[in-house]
Amino acid sequence: MELFDEGLHSGVNLALSVDKVLYREQTDLQDLMIFENKNFGRVMSLDGSVQTTEKDEFIYHEMFVHVPMLAHGRARRALIIGGGDGGAARQLMKYSDIAVTMVDIDRTVVELSKKYMPSVSGGAFDDPRFNLVIADGCKFVKETGEQWDVIIIDSTDPHGPGEVLYTEEFYSDCKSCLTPGGVIITQNGVPFVQEAELRTSYDRLGRLFRDVSFYLAAIPSYVGGVMAYGWATDDVDLRKTGLAELAARYMDAGITTDYYTPEVHQAAFALPLHIQKALTKEG
């Protein structure tokens, strides 16, 4: 039996059986593989690291999208940096009055996601409210004159092509693309094995925004425990949105979810003590 052996974190490996390889190619930018696994369904990996799976992607994408959207409550324009599988776009399209721009550097990821994992995007790429831009995300946010209410940085880990999406310069350029009171959400890995990266993002975002924190979700295909999403905004009240208000917005939006609830939303910001200590310790 062939095994997919992810060695993203030194000394910690995730092994998945490869029941059938559907696609594999070294693109101009990264090594892309799509295969079937009996537990996770179809799996996409980039440079040997799992990016998404059919079975648990709903957790990752629902928390990426609905936390900022429902905390904001008035978002009409959203920008996705990365997110070539279309999962974040699918969740955003659940809102009737949203316009979405997605900027991804690799068209191959988008096209193969549509072909081999269509359930992830769920038709979002064909929605008239959706605008796909194939470009370098860093260059795009530096040069665009547009602004968005919510910016979702659905990047790979800070290695290879995704490394530049964790720099303070990039975060600063993203801030210039935010409307007043807007919020940025980042993919910040698994704190238990990526504590240094979490702290680096916290420090860099903290120099730019009035309110910076993280919230958590447990995603089975990401090895090492719960995953962290970065939260950055100048509106210090967004993170304090009450449960009753979140519930009302959730109902009014008319969306359906399988993981996200207003209660989960609030609880996700309650950080375990070891993460709090990592964010406050010096050095």
**pLDDT per residue over 83-129, tens digit each?**
999 999 999 999 999 999 999 998 988 999 999 999 999 999 999 99
Specify whether 149 is catalytic: no
Name the pLDDT band for 257 (thresholds 50, 70, 90). very high
* Sign of the four-CA dihedral 75, 77, 83, 84: positive
> Mean per-residue pLDDT for 218-225?
87
Q: Are 137 and 61 in contact (CB under 8 A)?
A: no
DSSP 8-state secondary structure symbol assigned to residue 80 = E
Q: Which of 85, 154, 157, 173 is catalytic?
A: 154
pTM: 0.93
Angle between helices 195-206 and 168-176 (to 10 degrees): 50
CATH number of this structure's domain 3-52, picked from the four choices 3.40.50.300, 2.60.40.420, 2.30.140.10, 1.10.3720.10: 2.30.140.10
* pLDDT surpassing 60 at residue 47: yes
Tokens of 138: 């860093």
Q: In the structure, what pLDDT confidence band is assigned to residue 159 with cuts at 50, 70 and 90?
A: low
DSSP reduced 3-state for 24: strand
Output the CATH code of domain 57-280: 3.40.50.150
Is residue 155 within 8 Å of residue 88, measured between CB atoms? no
Ranking 93-97, 170-174, 202-206, 219-223 by mean pLDDT, the lowest is: 219-223
Domain spans of the chain, in order of start = 3-52, 57-280
* Strand, helix or coil for residue 100: strand
